Amino acid sequence: MKKKEIEYQIRKKKSFLSIGLDSDINKIPDFLKNNEDPLFEFNKAIIDSTNKFCVSYKINSAFYECLGSRGWKSMEKTINYLNKNYPEIFTIADAKRGDIGNTSKMYADAFLKNMNFDSITVNPYMGSDSVKPFLEVDNKFIILLALTSNKSSKEIQLKKISESTNENFVFSEIINLSKNWGDDSNTMYVVGGTKPEFFKRIRKQIPKHFLLIPGLGAQGGDLNKICENAMNDEIGIIVNSSRSIIYASSGNQFDKAAAEAAEKVQNLMQQILK
Amino acid sequence: MKKKEIEYQIRKKKSFLSIGLDSDINKIPDFLKNNEDPLFEFNKAIIDSTNKFCVSYKINSAFYECLGSRGWKSMEKTINYLNKNYPEIFTIADAKRGDIGNTSKMYADAFLKNMNFDSITVNPYMGSDSVKPFLEVDNKFIILLALTSNKSSKEIQLKKISESTNENFVFSEIINLSKNWGDDSNTMYVVGGTKPEFFKRIRKQIPKHFLLIPGLGAQGGDLNKICENAMNDEIGIIVNSSRSIIYASSGNQFDKAAAEAAEKVQNLMQQILK
């Protein structure tokens, strides 16, 4: 998917919401567990009820891997269902991969070619040759971890680099380096919604790149603060919420409850987009 | 598996070799491709023929994920085969995972609990709360990326941190922090065999931890240089080789050829251990 298409969908749907399919077999409604593939049935219902209110789904691969090959199949069925029925949706494999070149190529094949995700989250710690194989697949995005939403992100990401001219943080140095590995047509960055005080600094470095902002909802990020500091002229942000939408209810009407939760966020986004 | 058991096996087998099962469907012998599960048949033959010469197998999850749920099943069958038939072998899930706490827990469940690997490689970029869920599984090791074997590792890992007292590299700072997350009974570090000039420095920081050293063989690491600089009194290193052993031949006798290649490395190791 191209950047222009994502921007078009954001304006059309008046939403820059991504819904995280962190679908946990222990948290989905009990009555679904009689199905042959409970995770897929859960995802299908959530997708059918919430897609009007979002522009993206983010599939967290850990939640599928912990069910083994059966879980991997649920992930494959979910991305196939999205690609077939909602091709306008920007799909994110939240897999945080990254390895030496020949191995990263295998991960790129797995997620971007075979499963045909539009994007994958990539850990930049191993440097450019570990990231470039992902950039070699056309019409896809890598979403590089920059400043993550968790508390401990400060331990390494917020250390300061001494050689850099401006005493950059480690994460800022990574942005500076990596913005030349690709460009804003194939690279986005993960910046935690729990760290709004860093957004302006980041926007100076990368005014045009999309930011994927997790941490809204269960993790405590504030939507207004995020938008004030992170948006650019083309919107330029996708804000993700997982648990507070998909687990809005554990009853029979879980999909309806998820839609209501998603619509609430979409309404706030619509206000902000005005 | 406990550290003492690994050390015992190293002395018994006179080997500190790990064989990397980077098993590529496009590189395994053609005649295996008629099997229902070619990757597993390949792995099984390699394991049966080489296990005398090594103390560890490292399964690179990317090579299985690129075949989808079918590949994941091959990985499950391989680790089950190892656990059942060769319980003395130290098994490594080379998966390079790491995410916010609730997600890392899912990865820990997937690899350390459900598949029962002895260890998993973990990317430290997100900090302690992303690593600790892996440490909570008893009798397992995390193997943290410190200084990786690829060329671009220098771009981030060898930048210098300004606040640290000794102008530490980023990777040294990560070692300093993380050696207190666990200890040498549950933590190892990845240090590339292509970077022997850094081993002495690393040994000063962590004299007792095991180092997992990839990069021997196809990537060009030199065994003598590695051992001279990285070994400690308890040996303290596991050296991995993948492609130059498992693809020693693509003919009918591929398993024999792999055993010969492994034995050659084991012989060198035996010399060094004297």
User: pLDDT, tens digit, for every residue of A231-245?
Assistant: 999 999 999 999 999
The pLDDT value recorded for residue B138 is: 97
pLDDT at A75: 98
Q: What is the DSSP string of A161-209?
A: BSSSTT--BHHHHHHHHHTTTS-TTTEEEEE-TT-GGGHHHHHHH-SSS
Residues of A in contact with B151 (CB under 8 A): 127, 129
Instruction: Give CA–CA dist A66/B105, Å, rounded.
Output: 9
Measuring CA to CA, which residue among B38, B81, B21, B68 is closest to residue A71? B68
H or E, element range at A74 = helix A68-85
**H or E element, residue A234:** none
In which band, very low, low, confident or very high, does the pLDDT at A215 lie, cut at 50, 70 and 90? confident
> Using CA atoms, how far apart are residues B179 and A256, in angstroms rounded to an integer?
47
CB contact under 8 A, A66 and B110: yes
Residue B170 near residue A159, CB atoms below 8 Å: yes
Q: Which pLDDT does position A164 carry in this prediction?
A: 62
pLDDT score, position A218: 67
Confidence of residue A146 (pLDDT cuts 50, 70, 90): very high
In chain A, what residues touch B148 (CB-CB under 8 Å)? Answer: 100, 125-126, 130
Q: Please calculate the CA angle A257-A260-A265 and round it to the nearest 5 degrees.
A: 130
State the smallest CA–CA distance between residue B231 and chain A in angstroms: 24
Higher pLDDT, A172 or A221: A172
What is the mean pLDDT of the segment spanning A205-212?
97
The reported pLDDT for the residue numbered B221 is 72
* Burial class of residue A261 in the structure, from the number of CB atoms within 10 Å of its CB (0-12 exposed, 13-18 middle, 19+ buried): buried
How wide is the angle at C-alpha A11 spanned by C-alphas A8 and A12, nearest 5°?
A: 80
Q: Are A213 and A226 in contact (CB under 8 A)?
A: yes
Interface of B with A in 75-134 (CB under 8 A): 76, 94, 96-104, 106-107, 109-111, 114-115, 123-130
Look at residue A268 and tell me whether its pLDDT is greater than 80. yes
Of chain B, the percentage scoring pLDDT greater than 90 comes to 92
Residue B188 reports pLDDT greater than 90: yes
Q: Do A159 and B167 touch (CB under 8 A)?
A: no
Q: Which of B247, B245, B171, B244 is nearest to B211 (CA)?
A: B171
pLDDT digits (tens, 9 = 90+) for B37-59: 999 999 999 999 999 999 999 99
Nearest-angstrom CA–CA distance, A88 and A77: 17
- pLDDT tops 90 at residue B218: no
Q: What percent of chain A has pLDDT over 70?
A: 97
Query: ipTM > 0.90?
Result: yes
Backbone angles phi, psi at B56, to 5 degrees: -155, 150
Predicted local distance difference test score (pLDDT) of residue A209:
98
Out of A63, A152, A162, closest to residue B162 by CB: A162
Q: What is the mean pLDDT of residues A108-114?
A: 98
Looking at domain B3-273, its CATH superfamily turns out to be Aldolase class I (3.20.20.70)
Q: Given pLDDT bands bounded at 50, 70 and 90, which one contains residue A124? A: very high
User: Residue B71: is its pLDDT beyond 70?
Assistant: yes
- Average pLDDT over chain B reads 95
Mapped onto helix, strand or coil, the DSSP state of residue A109 is helix
Partner B, chain A 232-261, Cβ-Cβ below 8 Å = none
Q: Report the percent of chain B where pLDDT is more than 70.
A: 97
B163 with B172: CB under 8 angstroms?
Answer: no
> What pLDDT score was predicted for residue B222?
86
Average pLDDT of chain A? 95
- pLDDT over 70 (residue A167): no
**Size of the A and B interface in Cβ pairs below 8 Å:** 189
Cα A156 to its chain centre, rounded Å, is 22
Active-site amino acid positions of B? 96
Q: What is the pLDDT of residue A165?
A: 61
**pTM for the full model?**
0.97
Task: Give pLDDT, residue A127.
Answer: 98
B125: which 2 tokens? Answer: 């970029």
pLDDT for position B208: 97
Token couple for A145 = 């971890």
CA A49 to chain centre: 19
Give residue-wise pLDDT tens across range B148-168.
Answer: 999 999 999 999 988 666 668
The mean per-residue pLDDT over the stretch B207-232 comes to 89
Touching B: A residues 150-179, CB under 8 Å: 150-157, 159-164, 167, 170, 173-174, 177
Closest CA relative to residue A239, chosen from A58, A71, A103, A105: A58
Q: Tens digit of pLDDT for each residue in A60-76? A: 999 999 999 999 999 99
Q: Does B63 contact A at CB distance below 8 Å? A: yes
The pLDDT, as a whole number, for residue A45 is: 98
- Region B196-221 average pLDDT: 89
Q: Is there a contact between B17 and B55 (Cβ–Cβ < 8 Å)?
A: yes
Residues of B in contact with A115 (CB under 8 A): 68
Chain B partners within 8 Å of A114 (Cβ): 66, 68
Rounded to whole angstroms, how far apart are CA atoms B22 and B3? 25
Q: What is the DSSP string of A46-65?
A: HHHHHGGG-SEEEEETHHHH
Chain A nearest-CA residue for B72: A69
Domain boundaries defined on chain B: 3-273
Query: Can you give chain B as a three-state secondary structure string?
Result: CCHHHHHHHHHHHCCCEEEEECCCCCCCCHHHHHCCCHHHHHHHHHHHHHHHHCCEEEEECHHHHCCHHHHHHHHHHHHHHHHHHCCCCEEEEEEEECCCHHHHHHHHHHHHHHCCCCEEEECHHHCHHHHHHHHCCCCCEEEEEEECCCCCHHHHHCCEECCCCCCCEHHHHHHHHHCCCCCCCCEEEEECCCCHHHHHHHHHHCCCCEEEECCECCCCECHHHHHHHHCECCECEEEEECHHHHCCCCCCCHHHHHHHHHHHHHHHHHHHHC
Find all residues with CB under 8 Å of A2, minimum gap 6, and list them: A139, A185
Q: Is A142 helix (H, G, I), strand (E, B) or coil?
A: strand
Query: What pLDDT score was predicted for residue B166?
Result: 62
**Higher model confidence: residue A81 or residue A274?**
A81
